[in-house]
C-alpha cells in the first residue's frame, strides 16, 4: 500500500487539448465495449466507473444490501457500466453479491444485464480474523497461484457469472515472485475465466516483471488532483506501452466533493478519521483548496464533484476514473461529470489552485 511520502504538484499541467479525449455520455450505447480501450485486450470502458468498495460497508456504517443493489442499478441506468469490485470487498463478498443481485445473476436466475457491463474483479488480498485489532480483522496479501485461482473461482460463484471482463492482481505479494502470480492470471485468461488482466498498487519494476509473464491490459492506481505521484513513473510507463490506467480515489474519499466542513469529525466506524488528509492543518488546507474550485464549478454550471471527476478523466493517460457511491443520489451527482465540459480558463484556475496547495501527504502512516 502507499506510504506517506510528500509530493509537490507541478506548476504547469498538460492541457487536455493536446490529446484526443472521447467522452461517453449517459444514455449512449456503451455495451461491453465502452469507448476507451484497455491495452490490446478485447475490453474497453467508459471514462467513469463505479468503485464498489464502499458497497461492502467496511469503511463506514449504514450501508445495507438493498442500498448497495440500488446503487449499482442506478450506475448502469446512468450510463456507468464499468463496475470495479474485488474478492476482499466485504468479509463475505458483500460487494460482489450486490452486483450479482443488481444484474439479476443471483441464485442462478440469469441476468439480462450481464452483457451490458464490464465487471472488473481483483484477487490476491483477503481478510483474516485478528482479535488484537479493532475491527478484529486484518488484510492479507497472498499472491500464491493456488490462492489466486481459489479466490477467482469464489468470486465468479458470488457474481453468478462465468468470466470477469478484467481481472487484477490486487497488490504484489512480496513473498511470492510476481512472475508466479502473473503466470496464474495468464492461465485464467487461457481458461476463459477472464478477458483481460491488470495489476494494481504496483511500481514500474513490478509492472515490468508482470508484463513479461502475462499480457497486461490495465494498471489501477491512486490518482486525484492533489495526489499525482504516478505522473513521475507509472503513468508514463503505461502510456508508453499502451496499458490502460484506471484511477481510484479521484475525490479523495469525499474530500474533493466539497461537502465537508472545518472541525468535522468522523464516527468510529468511518476510516477517514485515520488519514492525515482529514486531520489538523492538512485538513484545513485541503478545504481551502476545495473552496478555490467552487467558483469554477459555478461558472460551468456543474457540481464540484462533476468538475473534479471531469478534470481527472481528461488527464493524459487516464483511461477510466472510479468513483464510490452508496446511494442512487450519489451516483447521479457523480455521473453528471459525463456532461461537464472544462474550458481553458477552468483548467488554468485549477492548475493555479493545485500549485498553491503544495505538498500533500500520502494515505496513512505505515
Q: pLDDT digit string (tens) for 334-348?
A: 999 999 999 999 999
Catalytic residue among 87, 89, 168, 275: 89
The conformational region for residue 263 under phi > 0 = left, psi -120 to 50 = alpha, else beta, is: left
Kind and range of the H or E run holding 321: strand 318-324
Q: Does a structural domain hold residue 274? A: no
Q: Does a structural domain hold residue 296? A: no
What range does the domain containing 198 cover? 20-262+309-341
Give the whole-angstrom CA distance, residue 241 versus residue 244: 9
C-alpha 267 chain-centroid distance: 24
Output the average pLDDT for the chain: 88
Cα–Cα distances in Å, from 210 out to 32, 232, 252? 26, 20, 28
pLDDT of 168: 98
Q: pTM for this one?
A: 0.88
Which residue, chain included where needed, has cell 469529525?
Answer: 265
Q: Which three cell numbers stand for residue 361?
A: 501527504
- Span of 67-71, 145-149, 211-215, 275-279 with lowest mean pLDDT: 275-279
Q: Which three cell numbers stand for residue 316?
A: 493524459
Which residue, chain included where needed, has cell 508514463?
Answer: 236
Q: Does a structural domain hold residue 349? A: no
- Span of 29-43, 219-233, 324-338 with lowest mean pLDDT: 29-43
- Span of 260-274, 287-301, 322-336 with lowest mean pLDDT: 260-274
Q: Where are the alpha helices (DSSP H) in the chain?
A: 65-77, 94-103, 145-159, 178-190, 204-213, 234-241, 280-300, 304-313, 328-335, 344-357
CB atoms under 10 Å from CB of 45, counted, come to 31
Q: Which three cell numbers stand for residue 332?
A: 447521479
pLDDT at 36 over 80: yes
Give the whole-angstrom CA distance, residue 91 versus residue 272: 19
Kind and range of the H or E run holding 45: strand 44-45
What number is the average pLDDT over the span 216-245?
97
pLDDT of 111: 57
Decide if 36 contacts 47 (C-beta within 8 A). Answer: yes
89 is annotated as an active-site residue: yes
pLDDT of 124: 98
Select the more confidently predicted residue: 131 or 267: 131
pLDDT of 87: 98
In 3D, which of 350, 35, 1, 353 has the Cα closest to residue 174? 1
What CATH number should be reported for the domain holding residue 57?
Answer: 3.20.20.100
pLDDT of 273: 80
Q: Does a structural domain hold residue 38? A: yes
Number of folded domains that form the chain: 1
The DSSP result for 51-98, as a single string, is E-SGGG-SSSS---HHHHHHHHHHHHHTT--EEE--TTSSTT-HHHHH
Give the whole-angstrom CA distance, residue 99 versus residue 86: 11
pLDDT of 77: 95
Q: Does a structural domain hold residue 298? A: no
pLDDT of 118: 96
Give the whole-angstrom CA distance, residue 85 versus residue 72: 11
Q: Does a structural domain hold residue 356? A: no
Q: pLDDT digit string (tens) for 299-327?
A: 999 999 999 999 999 999 999 999 999 99
Q: Does a structural domain hold residue 96? A: yes
Q: Is the dihedral of CA 78, 81, 84, 89 positive or negative?
A: positive
What confidence tier does 1 reach under pLDDT thresholds 50, 70, 90? very low
In 3D, which of 205, 200, 215 has the Cα closest to residue 322? 200
What number is the average pLDDT over the span 82-92?
97
Q: pLDDT digit string (tens) for 165-207?
A: 999 999 999 999 999 999 999 999 999 999 999 999 999 999 9
What confidence tier does 4 reach under pLDDT thresholds 50, 70, 90? very low
Decide if 185 contacts 215 (C-beta within 8 A). Answer: no
Amino acid at each position: 500500500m502507499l506510504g506517506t511520502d510528500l509530493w509537490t504538484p507541478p506548476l504547469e499541467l498538460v492541457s487536455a487539448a493536446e490529446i484526443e479525449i472521447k467522452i461517453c455520455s449517459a444514455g449512449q450505447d456503451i455495451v461491453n465495449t465502452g469507448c476507451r480501450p484497455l491495452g490490446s485486450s478485447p475490453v474497453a470502458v467508459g471514462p467513469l466507473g463505479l468503485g464498489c468498495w464502499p458497497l461492502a460497508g467496511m469503511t463506514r456504517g449504514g450501508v445495507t444490501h438493498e442500498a448497495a443493489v440500488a446503487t449499482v442499478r442506478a450506475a448502469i441506468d446512468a450510463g456507468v457500466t464499468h463496475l470495479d469490485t474485488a474478492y476482499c470487498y466485504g468479509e463475505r463478498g458483500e460487494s460482489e453479491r450486490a452486483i450479482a443481485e443488481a444484474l439479476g445473476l443471483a441464485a442462478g436466475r440469469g441476468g439480462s444485464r450481464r452483457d451490458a457491463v464490464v465487471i472488473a474483479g481483483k484477487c490476491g488480498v483477503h481478510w483474516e480474523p485478528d482479535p488484537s485489532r479493532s475491527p478484529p480483522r486484518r488484510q492479507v496479501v497472498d499472491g500464491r497461484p493456488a490462492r489466486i485461482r481459489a479466490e477467482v473461482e469464489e468470486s465468479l460463484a458470488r457474481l453468478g457469472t462465468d468470466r470477469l471482463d478484467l481481472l487484477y492482481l490486487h497488490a504484489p505479494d512480496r513473498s511470492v515472485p510476481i512472475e508466479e502470480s502473473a503466470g496464474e492470471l495468464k492461465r485464467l485468461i487461457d481458461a476463459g475465466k477472464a478477458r483481460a488482466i491488470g495489476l494494481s498498487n504496483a511500481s514500474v519494476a513490478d509492472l515490468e516483471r508482470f508484463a513479461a509473464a502475462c499480457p497486461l491490459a490495465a494498471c489501477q492506481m491512486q490518482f486525484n488532483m492533489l495526489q499525482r505521484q504516478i505522473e513521475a513513473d507509472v503513468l508514463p510507463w503505461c502510456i508508453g506501452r499502451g496499458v490502460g490506467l484506471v484511477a481510484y480515489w479521484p475525490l479523495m474519499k469525499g474530500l474533493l466533493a466539497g461537502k465537508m466542513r472545518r472541525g468535522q469529525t468522523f464516527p468510529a466506524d468511518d476510516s477517514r478519521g485515520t488519514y492525515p488528509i482529514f486531520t489538523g492543518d492538512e485538513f484545513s488546507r485541503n478545504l481551502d483548496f476545495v473552496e478555490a474550485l467552487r467558483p469554477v464549478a459555478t461558472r460551468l454550471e456543474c457540481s464540484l464533484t462533476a468538475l473534479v471527476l471531469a478534470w481527472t478523466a481528461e488527464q493524459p493517460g487516464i483511461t477510466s476514473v472510479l468513483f464510490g457511491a452508496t446511494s442512487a443520489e450519489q451516483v447521479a451527482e457523480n455521473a453528471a461529470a459525463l456532461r461537464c465540459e472544462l474550458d481553458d480558463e477552468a483548467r488554468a484556475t485549477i492548475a493555479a489552485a493545485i500549485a498553491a496547495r503544495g505538498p500533500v501527504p500520502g494515505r496513512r502512516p505505515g
